[in-house]
Chain A
Amino acid sequence: MATLMMPNLLNFSNILPLAELEVGHHFYWHLGGLSLHGQVFLTSWFVIGILLIASVLAGRDRTMIPAGLQNFMEYVLEFIRDLAKNQLGEKEYRPWVPFIGTLFLFIFVSNWSGALLPWKVIQLPEGELAAPTGDINTTVALALLTSLAYFYAGFRKRGLGYFAKYIEPTPILLPIAILEDFTKPLSLSFRLFGNILADELVVAVLVLLVPLFVPVPVMMLGLFTSAIQALVFATLAGAYIHEALEGHGEEDH
């Protein structure tokens, strides 16, 4: 695997190594026979920690008239509930709020932590800290969880009748219906991974060219697209679950 040429160039011109960028280099942890990408675990734990601390702090001494953090978290919850309600409909959405909300919050905080926090200050022996969603393993795990979720939703609602959706309009489309089950997680994971990695690459390239001020608008654009990608992932997860609940034929929302 090749490292990008930027680090050498930057070290050569002796600026702070802000734009160091190592695609395909990882900080490996060895656990039994497995090699784990340690940097992804560290940043994911950090993100999970932020979310846990925020929820615990917001849930401590609640008041009827919310203020401060409690107010903010209630706003977040309402946003997620509306998102789930829009996708799943009034009747079905409630049990899926935790799942969709977890997806949205984890991806959102991951993306923004990668864009906002100066991870590069912390040196690792190999690889670098970055947004956990910029690693294909994280996004594939999230996408497969989504697949499991919509299969579970379909089976629980309609039992074995769930399989009827594969041959529902006509059995001719059966191969395409089966293929869809594979392309859904594939496109979900690639979309998120590609967007986050592309953001980081673009920012790094611009920082390499002009280290000060000029990359700021692109970073803002990165923040924007990261937020949109979190929204898209959660929306699509909701849409897939809704499709599994309703079947192809009877769209009624």
Chain B
Amino acid sequence: MDPIVSAASVLAAALAIGLAAIGPGIGQGNASGQAVAGIARQPEAEGKIRGTLLLTLAFMESLTIYGLVIALVLLFANPFA
């Protein structure tokens, strides 16, 4: 592999996963905070809130996973190598 290409790929992989973690991090924080507030207000709804929260967290997490998939493609299946 061309050294420039491999260096660029490694950097791009790091940026992909790092940047992709920012947004979902903020989102997950917001969602969890709201869920805790909801449980504090209405403790009897805890089960339902927790179920919904876990599902929404999984959706947000998948955004980071898209970044991870790009990073993995760059590292292991680089089309420009």
Name A residues whose Cβ lies closer than 8 Å to a Cβ of B.
Answer: 1-2, 4, 23-24, 187, 190-191, 193-195, 197-198, 225, 228-229, 231-232, 235
Cβ A231 vs Cβ B55 within 8 A:
yes
Known: A2-B76, A24-B76, A228-B54. A194 touches B66 (CB 8 A): yes
A198 touching B75, Cβ below 8 Å:
no
Residue of A nearest to B69 (CB): A194
Q: Is the interface of A mostly helix, strand, loop or mixed?
A: helix
Contacts of B81 in A (CB 8 A): 1-2
7 nearest A-B residue pairs (beta carbon): A194-B65, A191-B62, A24-B76, A23-B76, A194-B69, A232-B58, A228-B58
- Check A23/B72 contact, CB under 8 A, given A190-B66, A194-B66: yes
Q: How far is the CA of A67 from the CA of B64 in the complex (A)?
A: 43
Contacting residues, chain B, for A228 (C-beta < 8 A): 54-55, 58
B65/A190 in contact, CB under 8 A? yes
- Report whether over half of chain B's contact residues are helix, strand or loop; otherwise say mixed: helix
Interface size on B, residues (CB 8 A): 16
Q: Are A2 and B75 in contact (CB under 8 A)?
A: yes
Which residues from 32 to 81 on chain B have a C-beta closer than 8 Å to any C-beta of chain A?
54-55, 58-59, 61-62, 65-66, 68-69, 72, 75-78, 81
Give, as a whole number of angstroms, the nearest-CB distance from B66 to chain A.
Answer: 6
Q: Which residue of A lies closest to B65 (CB)?
A: A194
Which residues of the partner chain A approach B61 to less than 8 Å between Cβ atoms?
195, 225
Cα–Cα distance between A187 and B78 once the two chains are bound (Å): 20
Nearest CB to that of B56 among chain A residues? A232
**CB neighbours of B55 from chain A (8 A):** 228, 231-232, 235
